[in-house]
Structure 1
Amino acid sequence: MGHVIGIDASTTATKAVLVDEAGAVVGIAAAEYGFDQPRPLWSEQDPGLWWDGSVAAVREVLRTTGTDPTGVAAIGLTGQMHGLVLLDAAGDVLRPAILWNDQRTGAECDAIRSALGPRRLVEITGNDALTGFTAPKLVWVRDHEPDVWRRVAHVLLPKDYVRLRLTGDYAMDKADGAGTLLFDLAARDWSPEVLAALRIDPAWMAPTFEGPEVTGTVSAEAATETGLRAGTPVVAGGGDQSANAVGVGAVVPGRMALSLGTSGVVFATTDRPLFEPAGRVHAFCHAVPARWHMMSVMLSAAGSLRWFRDAVAPGVPFGDLADAAAEAPAGSDGLLFLPYLSGERSPYPDPLARGAFVGLTLAHDRRHLTRAVMEGVAFGLRDGLDLMVTAGMAAPDQIRASGGGTASPLWRQVLADVLGAEIATVSTTEGAAYGAGLLAAVGAGWFPTVEAAADAAVVATPVAAPGPDAPRYAAWHATYRDLYPALSPSFRRLA
């Protein structure tokens, strides 16, 4: 039986997942590394770590599974989005990569809005200028590191540096490209207007490909390092969010993905480019050809529950905490929680937003507070979903949930009630790396389309549906939505 490999170059590790022709995960290996924060708000990483991690993970997954590399039909790539990798004409790295979580570029975001006009920027790219995106990082280098700027010949994203080392080719997928803030969302390629406005040479930008398209093959040098067969096809892949959506089967309109990890992401596939006029939710190309997606991002989702546990009930297992919360009634006896512990991105792109419990009384105990945290996170996710629906997205039929928070039956039910859709879990837990593997399977010719691959390989199991509490949650959500506008001035005075 043949195999494909999905490689995920994330912020803290590179993972390699070996997948067989039936879509089953055969083996997993990972290599960990760190990143640097040389100054406040800065976040950087040596691109060589991604390549070294890829070499180690691929060699390990081949070794532990006893897989003959001649049977590996294709490689798919994914990884952290938005990171800026600058190379000279020889392909050498000019400076450490500036990562997605780097916050130095507030002034550059303002400059980008001024250069294009806020409305025109969203019309072209589908997004407002945020510090996480790639374009503000490029503008920062242009204005602060002229010696580096003069030597730039190529601009890549993290996983595409791995591609360069693997194949020798400069290439990028359209989903990850759309996350740079340099893409024409409707045209699914680089925007001449944006590049010109920001004084970025179009020749620096790599050719773009659809997720399952082959961009090159493993070079002889890379084969020696990784143990792969020289000539193995490498497909474009996708950024981590779009690849994760492929991995859970969220590849058609009406089937949504929800990631409930430290942050919370609501990901909706669309059949045409849609954007929210104020840019409060993201709009990107999907790794699925001729599909796009909208995405809302909550910065503290399961992270809110972790904070609460560590602050109030240190050492208590999350499962025990959640089980006890089920003893509190829906609505937590009038207690609401704002989950803006790290600021927020959707629906309020506000770094000064803060968390809050509202409605506390002497009758509330730890069970109520725990449930209120779960409900507050669900309400925040609903805010993002509502923005996407207002922008023209169809309401979801099913939400495929992943991440540590979805292990709680109570939280799954709260999500179903608040979001108004069936919640399902899926048969695999390898997320983006698995999705990259499925894209490789399509590129290898095992499946005719990404949709066919996902339907064949991903098994979804419904675990919760909207229940009798759903109408009451709708009323509580309306009260929840009043809180941020009322408290925002106080947040600013406290910052």
Structure 2
Amino acid sequence: MGMEHFKDAILTGKTTLGIELGSTRIKAVLVNEENEPIASGSHDWENQYIDNVWTYNLDDIWRGVQNSYGQMTSDVKNKYGVELTTIGAIGFSGMMHGYMAFDESGELLVPFRTWRNTITGPASEQLTNVFQYQIPQRWSIAHLYQAILNGESHVKNIRFLTTLAGYIHWKLTGEKVLGVGEASGMFPIDINTKDFNKSMLAQFNELVASNDYSWKIEDILPKVLVAGESAGVLTEEGVKLLDVSGKLKAGIPLCPPEGDAGTGMVATNSVAKRTGNVSAGTSVFAMAVLEKELSKVYEEIDLVTTPSGDLVAMVHCNNCTSDLNAWVSIFKEFASAMGMEADMSKIFSTLYNKALEGNAECGGLLAYNYFSGEHITHFEEGRPLFVRTPESKFNLANFMRVHLFTALGALKIGLDILLKQESVQLDEIFGHGGLFKTKDVGQKIMAGAINVPVSVMETAGEGGAWGIAILASYMISKEEGQSLDEYLSKHVFQGKTGSKMQPDPRDVEGFEQFIKRYIDGLEIERKAVEIL
């Protein structure tokens, strides 16, 4: 496309903007009618630990939103020589869960409690029992109920409870709404009504009835919307909060605010049933879009929804590539000591590819990559560990292979619950994140671990800000009755197939043997935590 075409799209508002607030970075991405990124801006930020709570203060939130927006408009001006004054639609996305509670006059009652806090153990346990539905500690309802159990005085004054994305959207539009994917991390969703589960709302009210609050839970939660529904427009007050230069015009439509899980699904084209995605970096999580409810509650599996309200099972593990990267660094040190200066990407690709030459089950080696605790295998803290017997086939290929396998060990245990116990059917998983950077290797091992074809898209690096920009596009340009997954395959990912890899039966068999050894050896890891 020529420069004039882009310029015209910007001037006539044939664009959409997505802004995502991640835990370390806020990113703004402007896309054209073809859903291609044409400008971006970002702002780095950090949470603070104050009074035993992980938080971000409101000034930092707005400074970050304004900076990332401002940088994006500078990018527009530098690249295309025009001022940005209008946009087709805007969407906001943020870290899911957490607790932002407001009073009658819209004042924040206590500092924002983010998803990182693990201060809601008793609430999470009790609610899981009452609802017979997995309520993780980071969910908003667990935060609220814990505040009630703690006897916190602010609770009686709550008039609105929302998430980070919901808060920003409300301030920019005046609308107290949330996209269903984000809402599903506040309180359980009924996938038939695509709204909060009515019987669980009633159960919650009954649970706290003796406190005589003037509110009922349904009165203080946001209204739930699905992808494609209209979620209000940018007000004059909203313009002042978003664009400090004041050049942007009010009246721009906003799509429902979403969580980072939902925008990740959109950005990886995994919102259709029987698909899923795996994000593998420092930590790893897998999401699988289900065809039906699970038969029972599993503490290892969280249930959320896609932005369209389909049920998603989520397996999250704290540890993935940290130990693997640490070993690669040791080999880099060795290379330097030998006077060989190789760049990191060459060392990674050499070592990763070496792993493909190893024995299918890693030659009897065993490793645990636990830098921190791992709830799937019930560890409060971890110790990275490498173990072998004198008979193990100890060579470089098996050594690298076992560290790649163990990076997916805890994840495999969680996914086996879905794939084996619940017989969940998956046609394809989309992989993204650091583990998949070296061509073919992480992808091949992932396919072997879960016995499902794994695809890696070139666009996966665009991330959640792009995902929420696409949700904004979907709202204003979908055809009558067009579902989100149809829109994605037709308007966003058509022709962008990426590479798809079928599981190799040798890897599948090898991983099954490895995971048996991994489970049997967890006692060794427990002992290491006790002793070291």
TM-score (norm 2): 0.83
Matched, 1:449 2:468: no
Q: Distance between the aligned counterparts of 2:394 and 2:20, measured in 1? A: 44
63-72 vs 482-491, which deviates more? Answer: 482-491
Q: How many residues align?
A: 483
The aligned counterpart of 2:410 is 380
Deviation at 1:195, TM superposition (A): 2.7
Please list, as runs of the form range in 1=range in 2, the aligned pairs for 1:184-195 lying within 5 A after superposition: 184=190, 187-190=193-196, 191-195=200-204
| Per-residue Cα deviation, 1:436-492 (whole angstroms, up to 9, x for no partner) | 111111111245331133112122311533225224324424424533664576367
Secondary structure of the residue aligned to 1:75 is strand
**Alpha-carbon spacing, 1:384–1:113, altered in 2? closer, same or farther (3 Å):** closer
Residue number in structure 1 paired with 2:168 = 162
Choose from 242, 246, 249 the match for 1:226.
242
- Is residue 238 of structure 1 aligned with residue 258 of structure 2? yes
Where does structure 2 lack aligned partners over 5 or more consecutive residues?
A: 1-8, 209-215, 337-342
What displacement does 1:244 show? 0.6
Amino acid at match of 2:66: V
Spell out, residue by residue over 1:96-129, the C-alpha distance to the aligned partner (whole angstroms, 9 max, x if none): 1111111122233334345x1xxx431xxxx2x3
Report how far residue 219 of structure 1 moved: 0.8
Report the 3-state secondary structure (helix = DSSP H, G, I; strand = E; otherwise coil) of the residue aligned with 2:477: coil
Displacement after TM superposition at 1:288 (Å): 2.0
CA distance in 2, matches of 1:252, 1:323: 36
Q: 1:299 aligns with which of 300, 307, 318?
A: 318
Q: Is contact 2:62-2:241 (8 Å) kept?
A: no
CA contact (8 A) 1:275 1:391 kept: no
Q: Relative to 1, partners in 2 of residues 1:93 and 1:16: Cα closer, same or farther, differing over 3 Å?
A: same
**SS state at 1:444 partner:** helix
Classify the secondary structure of the residue corresponding to 2:289: strand
Aligned counterparts of 2:177 and 2:389: Cα–Cα separation in 1: 54
Query: Residue 401 of structure 1 aligns with which residue?
Result: 431
Instruction: Judge conservation of contact 1:214–1:233 (CA < 8 Å) in 2.
Output: yes
2:211: which partner in 1?
none
Structure-2 separation of matches of 1:310 and 1:8: 32
**Residues 1:482 and 1:473: Cα distance change in structure 2 (over 3 Å):** same
Question: What is residue 101 of structure 2 aligned with on the other side?
Answer: 86
Matches within 5 A, 1:111-260: 111-113=126-128, 116=130, 120-122=131-133, 127=134, 129-144=135-150, 146-184=152-190, 187-190=193-196, 191-199=200-208, 201-227=217-243, 228-260=248-280
Structure 1 residues 391 and 49: alpha-carbon distance in aligned structure 2, compared to 1, 3 A threshold: farther
Query: d(CA) in 1 for partners of 2:521 and 2:56?
Result: 35
Structure 1 residue 72 and structure 2 residue 107: aligned?
no
**The structure with more radius of gyration:** 2
Partner of 1:473: 510
448, 471, 482: which one pairs with 2:519?
482
Q: Distance in 1 between matches of 2:267 and 2:352?
A: 31
2:387 maps to: 358
The amino acid across from 1:332 in the alignment is C
Q: Deviation of residue 396 (structure 1)?
A: 2.2
Residues 241-262 of structure 1 deviation map (CA, whole Å, 9 limit, x = unaligned):
1211111100112222111121
Q: How far 1:52 sits from its partner (Å)?
A: 2.4
CA contact (8 A) 1:6 1:437 kept: yes
The answer to whether 1:389 aligns with 2:398 is no
Partner of residue 213, structure 2: none
The whole-number CA distance in structure 2 between the counterparts of 1:176 and 1:240 is 8
Secondary structure at 1:389's aligned position in 2? helix
Provide the identity percentage. 17
2:66 alignment partner in structure 1: 55
Deviates more, 1:396-405 or 1:311-320: 311-320
Deviations 1:76-110 (A, max 9, x none): 22110111111111112122111111112223333
- The separation in 2 between residues aligned to 1:195 and 1:398, in whole angstroms, is 37
Shift of the 268–113 alpha-carbon distance from structure 1 to 2, 3 Å rule, reads: closer
Residue 347 of structure 2 corresponds to residue 320 of structure 1: yes
Structure 1, gaps ≥5 residues long:
none
Q: Give yes or no for the alignment of 1:20 onto 2:54.
A: no
Equivalent position SS for 1:279: coil
TM-score, normalised relative to structure 1:
0.88
**Relative to structure 1, is the Cα distance of residues 77 and 250 closer, same or farther in structure 2, using a 3 angstrom cutoff?**
same
- Counterpart of 1:358, as a letter, is V
Give the match for residue 455 of structure 2. Answer: 424
- The CA deviation string for residues 151-189 of structure 1, in whole angstroms up to 9 with x for no partner, is 221101011111012112211121111112454455432
Q: Contact conserved, 1:173 with 1:237, CA < 8 A, in 2?
A: yes
How far residue 345 of structure 1 moved from its aligned partner, in angstroms, is: 3.5
Counterpart residue type for residue 400 of structure 1: F
2:362: which partner in 1? 332
| Residues 339, 380 of structure 1: 8 Å contact kept | no
Aligned to 1:261, which of 274, 277, 281? 281
8 Å contact from structure 2 (residues 264, 464) kept in 1:
yes
In 2 relative to 1, CA 222–111 (structure 1 residues): closer, same or farther, beyond 3 Å? Answer: same
CA drift at 1:325: 4.2
Measured in 1, the distance between the counterparts of 2:25 and 2:522 equals 39
2-structure distance, mates of 1:438, 1:463: 23
Shift in alpha-carbon separation, 1:406–1:112, aligned structure 2, 3 A:
same
> Which letter maps to 1:210?
V
